[in-house]
């Protein structure tokens, strides 16, 4: 098990809300189902350096991709 899977996700730096992971790439049916249940956010097929890793379920803030963690997404 890696540190990434054992560490709790960080709280949203904007509001302190609970984050959910943003998944990039071409999703399969399992990821579509997870997104419909609110377990992940689909980030699209194009992956850029600095894309946010987390989406706040409370305020919609995207964070965790670069030093610009206070960037607003959506």
- Per residue in 35-62, pLDDT tens? 999 999 999 988 888 899 999 999 999 9
In-domain check, residue 27 = yes
SS (HEC) of the chain: CCHHHHCCCCCCCCCCCCEEEEEECCCCHHHHHHHHCCCCEEEECCCCCCCCCEEECCCCCEECCCCCCCCCCC
Structural domain containing residue 56: 7-63
Task: Band the pLDDT of 71: cuts 50, 70, 90.
Answer: very low
In-domain check, residue 29 = yes
In-domain check, residue 46 = yes
Higher local confidence (pLDDT), 35 or 66: 35
pTM exceeds 0.85: no
């Amino acid at each position: 098990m890696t540190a990434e899977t054992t560490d709790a996700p960080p709280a949203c730096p904007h509001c302190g809300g609970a984050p959910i992971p943003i998944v990039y790439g071409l999703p399969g049916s399992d990821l579509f189902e997870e997104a419909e249940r609110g377990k992940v956010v689909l980030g699209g097929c194009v992956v850029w350096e600095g894309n946010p890793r987390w989406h706040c379920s409370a305020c919609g803030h995207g964070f965790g991709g670069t030093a610009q963690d206070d960037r607003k997404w959506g």
